[in-house]
Amino acid sequence: MTTDTVTYVQENEFDAVLSEDKVVVVDFTATWCGPCRLVSPLMDQLADEYKGRVKVVKVDVDNNKPLFKRFGLRSIPAVLIFKDGELTEKIVGVSPYEQFSAAVEKLV
């Protein structure tokens, strides 16, 4: 299993990422966030399972606060799923892998 499948994006490249790929999964995370560490391997798994069909990225909320606020997020981990640039799903907190994969499956 590779660990470099999920890359970090910054606020200034966020909209470009959304427009490049049909389905984009964004994991809002932070280095100090314990529950985020539980979600991280699930994002890697998702990126592997849907390789070539879905782009999975992470956003460090400490470095990208305006982006965090833009989507009305108050807590992390928060996983937002976009299709064609539109927000279709928001999963806040630690969830089982099936919840993430089911949300993605509906869009691909």
| pLDDT score, position 4 | 52
Q: Which domains does the chain have, with CATH numbers?
A: 7-105 (3.40.30.10)
pTM: 0.93
| pLDDT score, position 21 | 84
Cβ neighbours of residue 106 closer than 8 Å, sequence gap 6 or more: none
Q: Residues 26-84: pLDDT tens digits?
A: 999 999 999 999 999 999 999 999 999 999 999 999 999 999 999 999 999 999 999 99
Catalytic residues: 33, 36
